[in-house]
Structure 1
Amino acid sequence: MAKITTIIDIGSNSMRMVVLQKSSRFAFNLINETKSKVKISEGCYENNGNLQEIPMQRAYESLKSFLNISKSLKSRKIICVATSALRDAPNAKEFISKIQKDLGLSIKVINGETEAYYGGVAALNLVDKNSFVTIDIGGGSTEFCFVKDGNIEKSMSLNIGTVRIKELYFNKNDIDGARNYILDNLKKIFEQNIEIPDTAIGIGGSIRALSKVIMQRNEYPLDILHGYKYKVSKEEEFFDSVINAQSNDDLKNLGVKKDRFDTIKEGTFIFKTILDELHISKVITSGAGVREGVYLSDLLRTSNCKFPSNFNVSIRSLLDRFEIDPKQSAYYGNNASKIFEVLKPMHNLDDKFKTLLVVASKLHSIGSTLNFYKSNDNAFDFILNGLNYDFLHSSRVTIAHTIKFSKKSLPSKKDILQYEELLPNLETMQWLSFMISLNITVNQDFSRPKVEYRLNDDTLSIDSTNKTFFINSNIEKLELPNELKIEL
């Protein structure tokens, strides 16, 4: 696969592009994301499905700009897919031919099932959840991909979309007609006899826009959309407020952004109707969708479109780009595991914290690559935003804080106050802080010594092949949690 790849997704409402750069076999990072709200399907549902001239011209001009960006970033491969608007339009071939002739860009029109599958591939690989249904609300259709225990079971598409519902029902103030239309389409899901999970992964502009407003209304401490989750029952009143808004000022007062005024009511109505009918209780928001699914289907085509077990693309990508020495990173990871296990009788932490400690230990040095001074603070800020995929928000915040407090003193209550709702309790954070600090200190001269740890009662004995004054004196300065004592 090319080192730099461009993926363009022509949707009914918006056209989006991502440019992704490979850093190793399976790892990649985003170097550009561009969106243009061309509304290519505008007016088509009132004109026998035919694309109209003005929307087609908007799409044409935007594609020219997208290709300029792609070329400037030296992208060697471009994959362009089109979804509901073009697959439904009788005159789509005219538009596709013009783009091919004038811009040299081949557009692949994908069917609804394939579109749903791409959304499922993205969620399966980039969201930390094994069983779910993706819901991807677009302008012309809504896609569903059912995933159980890490395997895609069914992908399907229904002709439910914000622009379609707006033109056929909402513009005529026929809300009951819209609801009956959606419910009638949803019967096709139940006909499949699929086990419907209680968690939905939301994809698409309408669902993301709703999640952004919910985050702001709840004063959520982390400004990251991907991986944000909420309970449906807590937000039903807000959904109703959006649906029943009488004006753009009402939407603005609810926190909806101006660029979503045109279809947010329809999108919310579709989403709430689906959640109610499928009995979904939890929603996880995904910043990744069809574009990432297209890319991953190409990148992982020889491995059943799934990353290898125990592989995390975010960690690998950060290490590829910012680690100082791979051998040091590997050492810290292995040593973190040893320290966690030997101290388990005292800290009694769940094994998920061992995983987070290992990740934090491997990544802690990237702060020095960014800027040696205040490297822990640099890493903290970078990790909060850099662990883009396959991490719960609580996990990435815990990793970032563990790195931030990898120093002599333990964190206090006030140190974790800002992100308290996403962090474990203070005692857990103090144990993680101590363990990563000890891990770094025993290898402070980068000699990667062989170290044996033994816990007798409340005393941790440390036997190292590197018993220097420099190392020992720094270990003695570490603040210890609870009743722990250290013997060198």
Structure 2
Amino acid sequence: MAKQYYGIIDIGSNSIRLVVYLRDKGGRLREVENVKAVARLSTYLQEEGELSRDGIDKLLDTLKSFEGVLATYDLEQTVCVATAAIRQSVNQAEILEEVTERTRFDMRILSEEEEAFYGYLAVVNSTSLTEGFTVDIGGGSTEITYFKDRKLIHSHSFPFGAVTLKQRFFKKDLPTEEEMTNLRQFLKDSFQTLSWLNGKKVPLVGIGGGARNVVQIDQNLKEYPLAGLHQYKMLDSDLSFIKNYLLTLSMKKLQKVEGLSKDRADIIIPATEVFHSLYDTVRADGFILSRKGLRDGVFYEQLTKGMGTHLFPNVLEESIQELINDYELNMKQIQHVQHLAKELFTQFHEKGIGSLKKEDWSNVKRASYVFNLGEYIDDEASAQHTFYLLANRTIDGLMHIDRLKLALMASFKNKTVFKQFINPYKTWFLKEERKHIRLLGAFLKFCYSLDSTRRSTIESLEVDRKNEEITITLYCNKDFMPEEYQGEKQKKHLEKALKSKISLSFVALQDS
């Protein structure tokens, strides 16, 4: 099948960006090209609201440059959308006409409602959040939405952004204390005009370059050990620390801050203040970054046309399926192991073995889909590859700590290797939590050993517990020698985690 490429140009008030996506086997879009031009179009808006000739020329020159990049792709579709700077221009008709005549693009000017909607759509289709606020601060506008049960309830576009706030409140690149106080009061007053913003105590999801830079700064200051920005979580204290830290720096030092784009150095402080003020207003329980934003929302709408809904049924399931496709995992074996794991888990739970909780099953099942996927790269070092791939790959629908748990369980080899993998993250978990994750990993590894030849030899099993000894009877429909060998070999990890002896009894069904 020929590769399907899609292009989108996002004409913002601060930057203009071209992104090219490749549609994969599962229908998902994967970013393959990302080109950014810092145009600052909002600075070309004159007092009477007209985008100046210089601003129009800047836009046209950038679009012509993008034409050269796109010429290297055989594109199925190219979408060109513009937001606040063009929307607020009184001469937008003239701008549209010039773009149509002098480039190959049909520019679509998004309304405030559309811009907010696409941001919301990107978040609910790339995270497992069912309720929250989204905030996308551009150069000239700030879009905020509130969603509940994954449905958009409220949206609003404020006619200010990081660039225009800086122009309005700061006389120089860096603000005085009085200027910061004025900005803070302005934002507080603005947010209080929307009654639906007050005190929901749900996540605040940041979209766009400003939010991304704040997260990158936080990760660098903390020497954060995991890769990836999507679904990274910060708290009120983190936002406050970042803001106060940035306010202590000169412009020269700001431009050298790790994680902060040089072209955003002069607008990061107003952007951070917007996030922090809004966090306080909604009394959020966390600030979460979404790497998916307006551009992704536009294409999610395209992908879901004719489906009756713009929402993907289950974000995490789609992501797991993507991993299964990418690493060519054996679904027949996965389903059989899940069958055995469910029987063993249920009986362990009923008999009080291992202090298993009902919610543990969803973690075990999730990890069973991707157990030992690093074998795809190298059999000898499959545990290391499995852990690295899962811990450092963005998995839509999983927060970073849940992604780490998945990686630890799916890569389980033995206690020593588990300790090696979890060591950089020891402070993330209490001691009992670490032990419990190790138990679930050992449990899953044992279940996979029961289908080591991928023949579905073991049909069912029974668990019996007498004192401290556990007996597992396994009913087999064919010769079970390889499964018996692997089961006896791998049970030791489960025995150590449970601190109980396990006896295995393999029974041929025709003899039972």
Q: State if a TM-score over 0.5 links the two structures.
A: yes
Q: C-alpha offsets along residues 440-472 of structure 1, whole Å, 9 cap, x if unaligned? A: 212211213343122211333332334432221
AA partner of residue 426 (structure 1):
R
The corresponding residue for 2:33 is: 32
- Following superposition, the deviation at residue 225 of structure 1 comes to 0.9
The corresponding residue for 2:161 is: 161
| Contiguous gaps of at least 5 residues in structure 2 | 506-512
The question of whether the paired residues in 2 share the 8 Å contact of 1:115 and 1:143 is answered with yes
Whole-Å Cα distance in 2 between the matches of residues 448 and 68 of structure 1? 55
Whole-Å Cα distance in 1 between the matches of residues 368 and 436 of structure 2? 16
Whole-Å Cα distance in 2 between the matches of residues 448 and 331 of structure 1? 6
Counterpart check, 1:460 vs 2:472: yes
The question of whether the paired residues in 1 share the 8 Å contact of 2:20 and 2:33 is answered with yes
Q: Give the total of aligned pairs.
A: 484
The corresponding residue for 1:118 is: 118
The correspondence of residues 374-453 of structure 1 with structure 2, limited to 5 A, is: 374-405=381-412, 407=413, 411-422=417-428, 425-453=433-461
The corresponding residue for 2:240 is: 236
The question of whether the paired residues in 2 share the 8 Å contact of 1:133 and 1:196 is answered with no
Whole-Å Cα distance in 1 between the matches of residues 241 and 375 of structure 2? 47
- Following superposition, the deviation at residue 410 of structure 1 comes to 6.5
SS of 2:311 mapped into structure 1: coil
Specify whether residues 358 and 4 from structure 1 end up closer, same or farther in structure 2 by C-alpha distance, changes over 3 A only: farther
Q: Could you tell me which of 476, 487, 499 is aligned with 1:475?
A: 487
The alignment's TM-score, normalised by the length of structure 1, stands at 0.89
- Following superposition, the deviation at residue 404 of structure 1 comes to 1.9
- Following superposition, the deviation at residue 377 of structure 1 comes to 2.2
| Contiguous gaps of at least 5 residues in structure 1 | none
SS of 1:347 mapped into structure 2: coil
AA partner of residue 294 (structure 1):
V
Specify whether residues 66 and 111 from structure 1 end up closer, same or farther in structure 2 by C-alpha distance, changes over 3 A only: same
The corresponding residue for 1:247 is: 251
The corresponding residue for 2:107 is: 107
Whole-Å Cα distance in 2 between the matches of residues 215 and 319 of structure 1? 29
Specify whether residues 69 and 426 from structure 1 end up closer, same or farther in structure 2 by C-alpha distance, changes over 3 A only: same
SS of 1:171 mapped into structure 2: coil
Whole-Å Cα distance in 2 between the matches of residues 255 and 3 of structure 1? 32
Specify whether residues 348 and 76 from structure 1 end up closer, same or farther in structure 2 by C-alpha distance, changes over 3 A only: same
Specify whether residues 150 and 451 from structure 1 end up closer, same or farther in structure 2 by C-alpha distance, changes over 3 A only: same
The correspondence of residues 70-469 of structure 1 with structure 2, limited to 5 A, is: 70-171=70-171, 174-190=179-195, 196-243=200-247, 245-249=249-253, 252=256, 256-301=260-305, 302-309=307-314, 312-344=317-349, 345-364=352-371, 366-405=373-412, 407=413, 411-422=417-428, 425-457=433-465, 458-469=470-481
Q: C-alpha offsets along residues 44-85 of structure 1, whole Å, 9 cap, x if unaligned? A: 2x5433334444444434334444444534331122211111
Whole-Å Cα distance in 2 between the matches of residues 428 and 193 of structure 1? 39
The question of whether the paired residues in 2 share the 8 Å contact of 1:27 and 1:316 is answered with no
Q: C-alpha offsets along residues 350-372 of structure 1, whole Å, 9 cap, x if unaligned? A: 44432232232222354233344
Whole-Å Cα distance in 2 between the matches of residues 281 and 324 of structure 1? 37
The corresponding residue for 1:49 is: 49
Q: C-alpha offsets along residues 370-425 of structure 1, whole Å, 9 cap, x if unaligned? A: 344423322322222334311111111111122222x3666553441112244572
Counterpart check, 1:60 vs 2:60: yes
Q: Does 367-376 or 384-393 show the bigger shift?
A: 367-376
Specify whether residues 484 and 118 from structure 1 end up closer, same or farther in structure 2 by C-alpha distance, changes over 3 A only: farther
Specify whether residues 332 and 52 from structure 1 end up closer, same or farther in structure 2 by C-alpha distance, changes over 3 A only: farther
Q: If you compute each CA radius of gyration, which structure gives the higher value, 1 or 2?
A: 2
SS of 2:48 mapped into structure 1: coil
AA partner of residue 275 (structure 2):
F
Q: Does 443-452 or 248-257 show the bigger shift?
A: 248-257
Whole-Å Cα distance in 1 between the matches of residues 406 and 343 of structure 2? 18
- Following superposition, the deviation at residue 253 of structure 1 comes to 5.8
The corresponding residue for 1:487 is: 504
